[in-house]
Amino acid sequence: MSPVSLIYVIGSLNVGGAERHLAQIIPRLDRSRWKPVVCCLTERGELAEGLQAAGFEVMCCPAARLPKNASGIRRLARLVETMFWLTAVMRRLRPAIAHFFLPAAYILGAPASILARVPVRIMSRRSLNNYQRNIRFSAAIESRLHGYMTAILGNSNSVVRQLHSDEHIPLNRLGLIYNGIDLGPYRKPSAIRRDVRTSLKIDQDALVFIIVANLIPYKGHQDLLIAFSMASSQLPTRWRLLVVGRDDGIGTKLREQAKGLGIAENVLFLGSRTDVPDLLCSADISVLSSHEEGFSNAILESMAAGLPVIATDVGGNAEAIIDGETGFIVPPRNPERMSEAMVRLSADVRLRLKMGMMAADRVEKNFSLDACTSRYEDLYTGLLRGRNPGEIQSIRFLG
């Protein structure tokens, strides 16, 4: 029996939470059962190379990227061109399943899959729908498309609950698949910690915090820097914050803010990195200051590396972190509460180590990549057999 053709649609495979998730899931699918192809809308991105080296096809829309100052008419023409390219690809490959990750991929990919008459269509929502406020007509377009989906997934209870309550999607068409991570890269020898700190010119006994999040306003980096300025006098003199993530336009502003707060020497902006597991293993405490999330891969990765995590109470963060046991959950947009948690952990080595150990254990038991991949395969198999998500035990949302 030939493997089932499966198309994933995503903006690009540049480094990001959803992109890393997809790049990790695809190689773990059973190749005797599934034949995945990735369609990128704008560019292949850094993560595409690994998938292609492993023998998976990654395609990219040939339409030229537009400059930021392109006119509305040119942008519309580019969107239409991309949608018809996707339609042509789907008609040629005749996939049994089309699976869309992130809003742009959904808005362009779903109509293409309808035109190409793909039998099974899946949308994955990986954050709360706050983004719709900033994308004109997004809510209305997505609402119309929902009715054409065979299944709609969320990666946390918060996301799925919102899809049901705010966007009125019936429970039997909703599914929950938590993110999963490969634990192997986070089990590093102790020498890695020393080597990374040496390469970054950080003292071996310094207290090191880390945030892994692209530099986007909703990730709350500005709040985080304020929190560090509030806590700084109570932290060890040589504390450091590693800021890891692609600069999506606010990097200069954040550097200026750190300088104005008097903490610039303590904050290292490292940009997008491919050695995130090593960086995490060099740190003592992980932080995430987001104003919105779906279910954060960065949190799971930090926990897998044995770090206690201080994170804001948004999306599925509190579903991953057990407050007071594997880290601390604090209100979003509240630098004072964030700073209090930082000070508490910085002053108690035993608490940090205990929370880190419990965090690693929790990830291993509940959020492994193998378990996540298995749930995707359960979903695809069930949908192809005519079942709805509510009838598939491993991904059923219980409300």
Tell me what pLDDT residue 64 has.
61
Same domain for 282 and 153, yes or no, is no
Q: Are 117 and 148 in contact (CB under 8 A)?
A: no
Query: In whole angstroms, how far apart are CA 368 and each of 21, 158, 159, 232, 299?
Result: 12, 20, 20, 36, 13
* pLDDT of 59 above 90: yes
Tens digits of per-residue pLDDT, 154-185?
A: 999 999 999 999 999 999 999 999 999 889 99
Tens digits of per-residue pLDDT, 216-273?
A: 999 999 999 999 999 999 999 999 999 999 999 999 999 999 999 999 999 999 999 9
Same domain for 174 and 117, yes or no, is yes
Same domain for 118 and 214, yes or no, is no
Q: Which of 195, 384, 158, 185 is nearest to 290 (CA)?
A: 158
Same domain for 384 and 328, yes or no, is no
Same domain for 208 and 139, yes or no, is no
Domain of residue 210 covers: 184-366
* pLDDT of 67 above 80: no
Same domain for 345 and 237, yes or no, is yes
Same domain for 129 and 192, yes or no, is no
Count Cβ atoms below 10 Å from residue 372 Cβ, excluding itself.
20
Instruction: Read off the CATH number of the domain in which 245 is found.
Output: 3.40.50.2000
* pLDDT of 132 above 80: no
The arrangement of strands across the sheet holding 57-60 comes to: 57-60, 34-43, 4-12, 97-101, 120-125, 151-154, 174-176
Residue predicted with more confidence, 221 or 366: 221
- Is the C-alpha dihedral spanning 131, 272, 274, 322 positive or negative? negative
Same domain for 294 and 375, yes or no, is no
Judged by phi (left if over 0) then psi (alpha if -120 to 50, else beta), residue 149 lies in: beta
Same domain for 260 and 141, yes or no, is no
Count Cβ atoms below 10 Å from residue 54 Cβ, excluding itself.
11
DSSP lists the bridge partners of residue 326 as: none
Same domain for 110 and 221, yes or no, is no
Residue type at position 164: H
* pLDDT of 56 above 70: yes
Tell the burial category of 68 from Cβ atoms under 10 Å away from its Cβ (0-12, 13-18, 19+).
exposed
Tell me what pLDDT residue 66 has.
66
Tens digits of per-residue pLDDT, 302-334?
A: 999 999 999 999 989 999 999 999 999 999 999
The helix/strand count (H/E) of the chain reads as: 15, 13
Counting the structural domains of the chain, the total is 2
DSSP secondary structure letter of residue 389? G
- Is the C-alpha dihedral spanning 71, 12, 89, 372 positive or negative? negative
Strand bridging mode 208-212 / 240-244:
parallel
* pLDDT of 135 above 80: no
Strand spans (E) along the chain: 4-12, 34-43, 57-60, 97-101, 120-125, 151-154, 174-176, 208-212, 240-244, 267-271, 285-288, 309-312, 327-330
Tens digits of per-residue pLDDT, 79-95?
A: 889 999 999 999 999 99
Tell me what pLDDT residue 122 has.
98
Q: Are 215 and 247 in contact (CB under 8 A)?
A: yes
Same domain for 136 and 218, yes or no, is no
Tell me what pLDDT residue 347 has.
96
Tell me what pLDDT residue 79 has.
87
Q: Which of 203, 205, 273, 284 is nearest to 243 (CA)?
A: 273
* pLDDT of 398 above 80: no
Could you tell me the pTM of the whole model?
0.79
Residue type at position 79: L
Same domain for 91 and 165, yes or no, is yes
Tell the burial category of 60 from Cβ atoms under 10 Å away from its Cβ (0-12, 13-18, 19+).
middle
